[in-house]
Amino acid sequence: ILNVEQSPQSLHVQEGDSTNFTCSFPSSNFYALHWYRWETAKSPEALFVMTLNGDEKKKGRISATLNTKEGYSYLYIKGSQPEDSATYLCALVWGSQGNLIFGKGTKLSVKP
Amino acid sequence: DGGITQSPKYLFRKEGQNVTLSCEQNLNHDAMYWYRQDPGQGLRLIYYSQIVNDFQKGDIAEGYSVSREKKESFPLTVTSAQKNPTAFYLCASSAPLGGGAGETQYFGPGTRLLVL
């Protein structure tokens, strides 16, 4: 059974802190990895699609890196703001159909 | 505005009753998906459809059925055979597969199903 692990499960930080969390996945037969942000009462929104080993993507204060050989991706948030509070999901693209296998998410709370 | 709509926001099911959750998209996407979320779990795939009039079972299809008669619509029926239907249900869509990267999925706002 394919398993995508995210850690930590939850995280509480103060406004202005920088933070990061991890997504781990089987390194064999890698296809692509997605990161999504899911704010309370809203729909999950795509952040990044990562495909190549060593990929690094950035959107504002949020960035992500990918290591397909060791099977992990890091998501970094620089200078966290209360509006960054959300659950961050990573999902592994699996198989020729391109279906996503989701981790359980990391719930980030940023206190003002 | 382009997007995905799901209705209703909340749905109550009585024992032995079938209920249908609606999902509509106007993004002109070929692929559509249904996920279920339970507390402490990741999103799990119930059914998906890559094209009209075709659909495939996901990881947890038992007790569910779908249809894909129109490109923009992918309703999910929770049948009486689903013994633990209480969950949050998310619908998503994506453009056709291409490029080998796995297409970004766009999600609806979800339907919460509760059993009376």
Distance, CA of B105 to CA of B95 (rounded, Å): 8
A73 and A21 Cβ atoms separated by less than 8 Å: no
Q: Does B101 touch chain A (CB under 8 A)?
A: yes
How much is the pLDDT for B71? 95
Q: Is the pLDDT of residue A46 over 90?
A: yes
pLDDT surpassing 90 at residue A28: no
Q: Which of A19, A9, A4 is nearest to A72 (CA)?
A: A4
Measured CA to CA, the distance from residue B60 to residue B105 in angstroms comes to 19
Contacts of A2 (CB under 8 A, 6+ apart): A25, A26, A92, A94, A101
Question: What confidence tier does A29 reach under pLDDT thresholds 50, 70, 90?
Answer: confident
Give percent of chain B above pLDDT 70: 92
**What is the spatial distance between Cα A89 and Cα A92, in angstroms, rounded to a whole number?**
10
% of chain A with per-residue pLDDT over 90: 79
Q: Is A84 helix (H, G, I), strand (E, B) or coil?
A: helix
- The Cα B89–Cα B110 span in angstroms is 5
B7 contacts B111 by C-beta, under 8 angstroms: yes
> How many inter-chain contacts (A to B, CB under 8 Å) are there?
60
Least Cα separation, residue B22 to chain A (angstroms): 16
Mean pLDDT of all residues in A98-109: 93
Kindly give, in sequence order, each residue whose CB lies less than 8 Å from that of residue A61, ignoring residues fewer than 6 positions away: A77, A78, A79, A80, A81, A84
Average confidence (pLDDT) over B37-59: 93
Q: Distance (Å, rounded) from C-alpha A51 to C-alpha B75?
A: 32
- pLDDT over threshold 60, residue A2: yes
* The predicted structure's pLDDT at residue B101: 59
CA torsion A18-A23-A28-A31 (nearest 10°) is -80
Contacts of residue A60, Cβ cutoff 8 Å, sequence gap at least 6: none
Chosen for mutation from A6, A31, A42, A100 (greatest number of chain B CBs closer than 10 Å) is A100
Contacts of A98 in chain B (CB under 8 A): 94, 97, 102-103
pLDDT for res A14: 97
Task: Judge whether residue B61 has pLDDT over 90.
Answer: yes
pLDDT in tens, B80-110: 888 899 999 999 999 865 544 578 899 999 9
Neighbour tally for A35: CB within 10 Å: 21
- Encode pLDDT of B32-45 as tens digits: 999 999 988 899 99
pLDDT at A60 over 70: yes
Interval A74-101 mean pLDDT = 92
Mean pLDDT of B17-41: 94
User: Burial of B2 by CB count in 10 Å (0-12 exposed, 13-18 middle, 19+ buried)?
Assistant: exposed
B84 compared with A75, residue with greater pLDDT: A75
pLDDT number for residue B99: 45
pLDDT for residue A98 is more than 80: no
